[in-house]
Amino acid sequence: MITKETKEKILETALIDEVVGDFVLLKKRGSNLLGLCPFHNEKTPSFTVSPAKGFFKCFGCGKAGDSVTFIMEHEHITFPESLRYLANKYHIEIEETAPTPEILEEQSIRESLFIVSAFAQRFYTEQLWQSESGKAIGLSYFRERGFTDDIINKFQLGYAPDQWTSLGTAALGAGYKMEFLEKTGLIINQDGKQYDRFRGRVLFPIHNVTGRTVGFGARILKADPKSPKFLNSP
């Protein structure tokens, strides 16, 4: 666990206007800063940052907090991960004590979810570049839309074959546990029958600030009035 002293040092050092300013364009208004809220859609800025108080508040959606909560909410990461992000940004050395068994258990589940998500990303990317349907349907779709191969590679785009269990079969074959695949939502379990959430879609991995895959957005490529055009993993 990160020590109390390190937490305090991070909170004292992290400047809210700098932390938020990495993600939101802020303009000075009196002693505060104002910008468009990153947590809800708005055209008139109601997102306020107070450097003096070390606090942000949105008068549109009500979201408020300090530097640590801003990073947690914005990047969908945990409290300790947010502290680590800020420590890294401000070059603060982290002091830690041994974690409790409960925390270790929680970390290990979370880590497992990251690991299966990374496998899924590699699987979908491989399908895009190497499978016949991936090349014919997915890759040609991206290229038609004007995506260069560099961009397709950079964002780790992928393709989910139009089959019920392609990811599931590959993941189990590679030794990953169904339990974690289901937890990520990439595999759906309906009354004991397991199938892939994404089928016949191009895949856009969603990365957090540390570059790890935390989820996927997917666009359908066949005409199917019963399926949504865009689908996200939970």
Residues that bind Zn ion (CB under 5 A): 37, 39-40, 58, 60-61
Q: Which is nearer to Zn ion, 16 or 37 (CB)?
A: 37
Nearest approach in angstroms of CB 39 to Zn ion is 4
Q: Which residue has the tokens 């865009």?
A: 230
Q: How far is CA 208 from the centre of its chain?
A: 4
Nearest approach in angstroms of CB 25 to Zn ion is 15
Q: What does residue 200 show for φ and ψ, rounded to 5 degrees? A: 65, 40
- Tell me which residue of 138, 110, 122 sits closest to 221, measured CA to CA: 138
Token pair recorded at residue 127: 């399908």
Q: Which is nearer to Zn ion, 27 or 226 (CB)?
A: 27
Q: Which is nearer to Zn ion, 39 or 155 (CB)?
A: 39
Q: Which is nearer to Zn ion, 41 or 190 (CB)?
A: 41
Q: Which is nearer to Zn ion, 38 or 99 (CB)?
A: 38
Nearest approach in angstroms of CB 24 to Zn ion is 11
Q: Which is nearer to Zn ion, 66 or 162 (CB)?
A: 66
Q: Which is nearer to Zn ion, 17 or 73 (CB)?
A: 73
Nearest approach in angstroms of CB 41 to Zn ion is 9
Token pair recorded at residue 166: 């392609």
Nearest approach in angstroms of CB 3 to Zn ion is 33
Nearest approach in angstroms of CB 45 to Zn ion is 10
Nearest approach in angstroms of CB 57 to Zn ion is 9
